[in-house]
Amino acid sequence: MQRAAAASRATAWSTERHGAARVTASASFSVAGTALPLRVRGGGGQLLSLPLLSGGRAVTARVAAAEAPLPADDAAAGRERGAGGGALAETAQLGAMIVAWYLLNIYFNIYNKQVLQPLPFPYTITAFQLAFGSLVIVLMWALKLHPAPRISISQLAKIAPLAAGHMLGTVFTNMSLGKVAVSFTHTIKASEPFFTVLLSAFFLGETPSLLVMGSLVPIVGGVALASLTELSFNWIGFWSAMASNLLYQSRNVLSKKLLGGEEEALDDINLFSILTILSFLLSLPLMLFSEGIKFTPGYLRSTGLNLQELCVRAALAGFCFHGYQKLSYLILARVSPVTHSVANCVKRVVVIVASVLFFRTPISPVNALGTGVALGGVFLYSRLKRTKPKNA
Residue 306 falls inside a structural domain: yes
End-to-end CA distance of the chain: 74
Residue 74 placed within a domain: no
Q: What is the pLDDT of residue 80?
A: 58
Q: Is residue 2 part of a domain?
A: no
* pLDDT at res. 328: 87
Is 263 contained in some domain? yes
pTM: 0.72
Q: Give me the domain span that covers residue 366.
A: 98-385
Return the bridge partners of 54, or none: 57
Cα angle 249, 268, 331 (rounded to 5 degrees) comes to: 85
Instruction: Give the relative orientation of helices 71-116 and 153-179 as an angle to the nearest 10 degrees.
Output: 50
Confirm whether 305 is domain-assigned: yes
Enter the DSSP assignment of 23. E
Query: d(Cα 179, Cα 116) in Å, to the nearest integer?
Result: 9
**Residue 205 DSSP class:** -
Query: Is 124 domain-assigned?
Result: yes
Domain count, the chain: 1
Q: What is the pLDDT of residue 25?
A: 40
Residues in the chain: 392
Give yes or no for a contact between 115 and 310, defined as CB atoms under 8 angstroms apart. yes
What local confidence, expressed as pLDDT, does residue 265 receive? Answer: 62
Query: What's the pLDDT tens digit per position in 164-212?
Result: 999 999 999 999 999 999 999 999 998 988 998 888 888 888 888 899 8
Q: What was the pLDDT predicted at 75?
A: 56
In a domain, 366, yes or no: yes
Rounded to an integer, what distance in angstroms lies between the CA atom of residue 106 and that of residue 101? 9
Whether 90 and 100 have beta carbons less than 8 Å apart is answered as no
Q: Which residues of the chain have pLDDT under 70?
A: 1-85, 258-265, 293-297, 338, 386-392
Look at residue 26 and tell me if it is in a domain.
no
Half-sphere exposure of 155 toward its Cβ, with a 13 Å CA cutoff? 14
Nearest to 165 by CA among 267, 285, 282: 282
- The alpha carbons of the chain give a radius of gyration, in whole angstroms, of 35
Where do the H-state alpha helices sit in the chain? 2-18, 71-116, 122-142, 153-179, 182-189, 192-199, 210-228, 235-259, 268-290, 297-302, 307-332, 337-359, 365-385
Predicted pLDDT at 21: 41
Contact 332, 163 (CB under 8 A): no
